[in-house]
Amino acid sequence: MAYKRPESVLVVLYNEHNQVLIMQRNDDAEFWQSVTGTIEEGELPLGTAYREVAEETGVVLSPESGDIVDCQHINQYEIRPEWQYRYPPDAFVNTEYVFVVQISSQAPIILTEHSAYEWVEKSVAAERVWSPSNQAAILAFVPESK
């Protein structure tokens, strides 16, 4: 088995009403999150963000459009013990690059790695997502409702 790199992206999607898209993981019904994914060999974080949005939601955005915004924020956190086997034996901390993107609330969402999704208010999203870094990104980078 090839190990995952301990580098990833977090992409918070929100709509024109400043509602946040949250998704329920297939492997943990209590784990809601934004788009996340490992940076693959040869990829830059921004490229990973575009790839992961397309893979996890079916929403294909063009890097040339500049739709995904780099928040210029990097998180570091301990890898969950139950996921440690996915990483090299000496990797205990993940580095996460944070991005946001506004998409239409009418965009069709096609889930591939999650069992459900919801558009919810910013405060609700921050309460429901499992990861503290996801909570912080929602609160810091999603605009307030108008």
What element of type H or E holds 77? strand 69-78
Residue 146 confidence class, pLDDT cut points 50, 70, 90: low
| pLDDT score at 32 | 97
Q: Which residue has the higher pLDDT, 65 or 98?
A: 98
Residue 145 confidence class, pLDDT cut points 50, 70, 90: confident
| pLDDT score at 27 | 84
Three-point CA angle 87, 93, 132, nearest 5°: 115
Q: What is the mean pLDDT of residues 62-89?
A: 94
The residue type of 48 is T
Dist. CA 66–CA 75, nearest whole Å: 22
* Phi then psi dihedrals of residue 78, to 5 deg: -70, 140
